[in-house]
Amino acid sequence: MPTKMLREFLDQNKIRYVTIRHSVAYTAQEIAASAHIKGREMVKTVLIKSDGKLAMCVLPASNKIDFDLLAKALGGKTIRLANEVEFKDRFPECDVGAMPPFGNLYEMDVYADESLAKDEEIAFNACSHVELFQMSFKDFGRLVKPRLIPFSYHSKL
């Protein structure tokens, strides 16, 4: 789903969003700084394998996944980070690591850390390391219908 397709999806659903171009950055924290976005409003998409099935975890850029908490919330499933080989073919139009958090468009479950519901706005990669989309979390929730659960903790790094 290149940026054009993501735009079309948002436009078809009458979603208000802002496109933000920034200098090349790879980590969510670097992107937030480059784009002058609050770290808690910049979200990262982390791909996991849950009982052998790919899924997306969406969490604040400044947080890390607590895998024990996530496994407990998902009913004791076996969960681990997915490696690039397991998911790169699912997102051929995206730079590796720049997947937007729209698992519903890729037939993946989406788990969003419940702390995100406190934010009015979120920003996320738009398939590249130089462009973000920013939109309301409420609209994101309406489109993606993520399962909101507590599964992350704030990381000072």
Quote the pTM value.
Answer: 0.90
Q: Does the pLDDT value for residue 140 go beyond 50?
A: yes
Cα dihedral: 110, 78, 29, 95 (round 10): -70
Looking at residue 88, its pLDDT comes to 84
Looking at residue 157, its pLDDT comes to 57
Its domain, for residue 137, covers 3-154
CATH number of the domain residue 123 falls in: 3.90.960.10
Mean pLDDT of 116-123: 91
Looking at residue 1, its pLDDT comes to 46
- Do 27 and 150 meet the contact criterion of CB atoms below 8 Å apart? no
Q: Does the pLDDT value for residue 117 go beyond 80?
A: yes
How many domains are there within the chain? Answer: 1
Mean pLDDT of 9-22: 92
**Euclidean distance between CA atoms 89 and 46, whole angstroms:** 15
Query: In 3-state terms, what secondary structure has residue 69?
Result: helix
Neighbouring residues of 84: CB distance < 8 A, sequence distance ≥ 6: 96
Which amino acid makes up residue 10?
Answer: L
Q: Where are the beta strands (DSSP E) in 5-150?
A: 17-21, 43-50, 53-60, 63-65, 79-81, 109-113, 121-125, 131-136, 147-149
